[in-house]
């Protein structure tokens, strides 16, 4: 949604678990990168042994994500600004 060149985020979007994405997940995976992860709620749908990384520009969403999932690797910023911190050819699944 765009009003006067300002993008508004729908209420609850950053805390959504995105269950609709699960049908696209492979049956086996160990590492997941989510670009635009919000609070990282999608990681709650994954098994507990998955290594989860999330990229998100919203500092408050990252803070809430870290509170919920202390084992996740959250990077704050837009992808181009943090991509050097992300391992190359490392992830089984990338969600955007």
Task: Indicate whether 25 belongs to any domain.
Answer: no
With 50 as the cut, is the pLDDT of residue 65 above it?
A: yes
Task: Indicate whether 19 belongs to any domain.
Answer: no
Task: Indicate whether 5 belongs to any domain.
Answer: no
* Position with higher pLDDT, 5 vs 53: 53
Residue-wise pLDDT for 13-29, tens only, equals: 565 657 677 787 888 99
| pTM for the structure as a whole | 0.81
Task: Indicate whether 23 belongs to any domain.
Answer: no
Range of the domain at 88: 30-96
**2 — pLDDT class (breaks 50, 70, 90):** very low
Task: Indicate whether 14 belongs to any domain.
Answer: no
Contact 61, 50 (CB under 8 A): no
**Domain at 41, CATH number:** 3.40.50.150
Residue-wise pLDDT for 34-48, tens only, equals: 999 999 999 988 988
Into how many domains does the chain fold?
1
Strand-pair category, 93-95 with 51-56: unpaired
């Amino acid at each position: 949604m765009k009003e006067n060149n300002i993008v508004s985020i729908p209420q609850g979007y950053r805390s959504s678990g995105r269950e609709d994405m699960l049908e696209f997940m492979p049956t086996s995976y160990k590492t997941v990168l989510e670009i635009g992860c919000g609070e990282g709620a999608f990681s709650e749908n994954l098994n507990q042994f998955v290594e989860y990384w999330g990229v998100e520009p919203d500092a408050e969403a990252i803070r809430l994500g870290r509170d919920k999932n202390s084992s996740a690797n959250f990077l704050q910023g837009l992808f181009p600004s943090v991509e050097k911190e992300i391992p190359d050819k490392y992830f089984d699944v990338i969600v955007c």
